[in-house]
Structure 1
């Protein structure tokens, strides 16, 4: 069975056919770094991670790009609370996101581009849209003309005359059509837009605030939607295979990405659009604005990474999921069943009761059936719920064999251990054996340091030397000595 996915663009289940047989271009809409990440954000990360892992398991070279939006009025609204400038606030929360991603055992993307380092590409894209007649300048801002793009609304299945006004109220007098959206905004962030997101306990910001850049139209800032198009096309291609994001981004964000990208290139932007359902708690979407969330850091501290990942693996990505104590207890029980069965298989395999010539046919058949069922489920639109059920059935088979047999089937036990490590570990990202003990602590620390150094190098390349120095100083404070050399930075733990 080949992989099939539910494509939001067509509303149909389709056989997955990438641009070529060797690699898959995967773009994930990342986080606006204006707050600590919560379990709702992490649900998208976890499912995108499992998609990446399964595609790699099936032999594809996955080129995975996931952005950080570090230029946004929500970030400006946190000035004085998490930093003294927009870059400082963004840096503060970006470092927290990186920490949380590593804590969740996510495979690294090929690159994590940030808006602030891609303004030249954004300006170039906006210029192309103006030149091709899809965008227009108004009072120093630039807007996309939705009436010029015939397919506008094709992702969200909306008619143009049904679409509500987009953007802030202050933009309405500048736009030709209420649904036109900003590609470039003149000036800094308006105090009114800041106030909408600012904590009432903080002093108000009375003057425009935030970074600005020069452009052919004005000194200003990029619009939200254009950023992902520019970063995706910079690091992947004009056409990508899979675009993943939360269901709440279908409109306007992803609809606008399609319009501006395809208007600029004349090519299809993304072949498959996969949207992850929202995480619910107490009947509402888990959201920073509602305050009904548990941060990733808190969840990892309370439950551990394997329980959190097992929780996400209990529900297919397209479905809504409910978070609560009963759901987390169930996830904990499932993880413990898997972990105990794995340890039972390892102990039995390494015992003197395991023999080379013992053949437990029913047990061997269950292992083969597990692999087949797991593959069938994952190729059925990444159905992690059914794939997890296959692993849990294998856990039962291991326990039955060890409890009932006088002599163990060594071959079958070894195969069951490898099945857990291959499917549960490599594909699901769960930790078995030594990885679940303190042996993984040093590895995690090394990965965190290496990721911070990658961020530091990006800052240096962008000319942000002060921010790069601050990152180095932070590492030193944590006991990590960094040495810069011709071949790049090296480090050691003091």
Structure 2
């Protein structure tokens, strides 16, 4: 069965076909605006995108996975000087990026190919805006640059809206500068706008932060929110990508604007498949930082552990809304422990004298094959994690029945069942079975110290660019490095369980 996905762009189920050579999939995930600690709503997108990548790789694809960090935003600038967050917009962003990376590792997410940041891609953003100006899809006004939505005939297709029915986008100050109310900013003149500052009560309004600015052909300013994702996706993937993943709340205006500016600049389709995750709700409302009804990822990892959290997310299909509650978390715990216990019992039985090749349990072996077929069928049906999880739980039940009712065990049946749980529950769902957490931490520390020794050798040899690159690589993995004179110390983010 071929993989099919629900494409928001067509609002239809479509058979998935990659555009890249050698079965390569180009996947972009709309990442986090790092103005606060990540919460469980953010993590829901991460986990589902992670499982999508794992399943694509299981099916033989080579996935190039890009997930951005928005480190230039008025919400970030609003927190400059607050507590110990730092004295600049980028300092605040680095603080929250470090925490987010630690949360991602704690959730057992596979590392993306690259995590680009807006502040590192301003030249690419400027170049993309220049292409839009040259082609007549954008115009300059008082040092800012706006996209002309009326110049792009397909505008509104993703969100099923008519451009003439749209209300004004952006800050109030922009309205007098725009030709059409729905036009949106590609480049904003100066620092953070007064209206954006006024939205954030934490700011000292007598001394509001200006935010980072960069030189451009139109004067000093900052990138608009939407242009960043197009520039980073095309820089690290291609002008046409296979899959674009993000929360359903980003369909409009963010993803609609991404399509318009990207396709207007290149003349090519920007993304072939748009997959949108449903919202995480609590007490009937969307979980969000602005509403203050969120549960941070770090706190949730401390209370529930990564396996229970992943089991919770995988109980609901990615495109549906999900409700966070104590009852739902308890059910997730029971599901994972049922799988974990069945795997543990089967592994112990395999090592015992009762496991014999001569015993053959037809029911167990049939359930194993049914589980494998059912899991694959569910995952190829728009990444149907709920049915896939149900298939694994059926196998757990068959294992327990076999172990409870036989004096001697089916060695080959047990081995195939264990391999199935580890392959699908472990490799695809990212759950851990029988892993030595302490041993992994010790190994991680040994590897960090090895990289630091190599970095020190590069510094002594005068290869400072290489040494800086190694430090950045460590920081992207959640390892904070501090240079004190000739010595370097580090802080390894703990993996919580």
Q: TM (normalized to structure 2)? A: 0.91
Q: CA deviation at 1:335?
A: 0.7
In the alignment, which residue of structure 2 is the partner of 1:249?
A: 250
In the alignment, which residue of structure 1 is the partner of 2:322?
A: 321
1:220-275, Cα deviation, whole Å (9 max, x unpaired): 00000000000000000000000000000000000000000000000000000000
**Matched residue of 1:63: which SS?**
strand
In the alignment, which residue of structure 2 is the partner of 1:162?
A: 165
The separation in 1 between residues aligned to 2:488 and 2:369, in whole angstroms, is 49
**Matched residue of 2:435: which SS?**
helix
1:64–1:110 CA contact under 8 A, matched in 2 = yes
**Matched residue of 1:414: which SS?**
helix
Note closer, same or farther for the CA distance 1:433–1:473 as it changes in structure 2 (3 Å cut): closer
Note closer, same or farther for the CA distance 1:342–1:172 as it changes in structure 2 (3 Å cut): same
In the alignment, which residue of structure 1 is the partner of 2:191?
A: 188
Q: CA deviation at 1:161?
A: 1.0
RMSD of the alignment, in Å?
2.8
The separation in 1 between residues aligned to 2:448 and 2:326, in whole angstroms, is 30
In structure 2, which of residues 464, 472, 481 is the aligned counterpart of residue 475 of structure 1? 481
The separation in 2 between residues aligned to 1:14 and 1:449, in whole angstroms, is 48
In the alignment, which residue of structure 2 is the partner of 1:440?
A: 440
1:102–1:444 CA contact under 8 A, matched in 2 = no
Note closer, same or farther for the CA distance 1:59–1:470 as it changes in structure 2 (3 Å cut): closer
The separation in 2 between residues aligned to 1:416 and 1:272, in whole angstroms, is 34
Q: CA deviation at 1:440?
A: 2.9
Matched, 1:104 2:107: yes
Gaps of 5+ in 1: 484-488
In the alignment, which residue of structure 1 is the partner of 2:11?
A: 11
2:78–2:200 CA contact under 8 A, matched in 1 = yes
In the alignment, which residue of structure 2 is the partner of 1:486?
A: none
Aligned length: 475
Gaps of 5+ in 2: 459-463, 493-497
Note closer, same or farther for the CA distance 1:193–1:242 as it changes in structure 2 (3 Å cut): same
Q: TM (normalized to structure 1)? A: 0.91
2:80–2:209 CA contact under 8 A, matched in 1 = no
In the alignment, which residue of structure 1 is the partner of 2:181?
A: 178
1:14-60, Cα deviation, whole Å (9 max, x unpaired): 00011145110000000000000000000000000000000000000
2:172–2:195 CA contact under 8 A, matched in 1 = no
In the alignment, which residue of structure 2 is the partner of 1:151?
A: 154
Q: CA deviation at 1:87?
A: 1.0
1:364-383 alignment, distance < 5 Å? 364-383=365-384
Runs of 4+ in 1 over 6 A off after TM superposition: 446-453, 460-465, 467-473
1:105–1:305 CA contact under 8 A, matched in 2 = yes
1:94-145, Cα deviation, whole Å (9 max, x unpaired): 1001100111100111100000000000000000000000000000000000
The separation in 1 between residues aligned to 2:117 and 2:373, in whole angstroms, is 40
1:99–1:448 CA contact under 8 A, matched in 2 = no
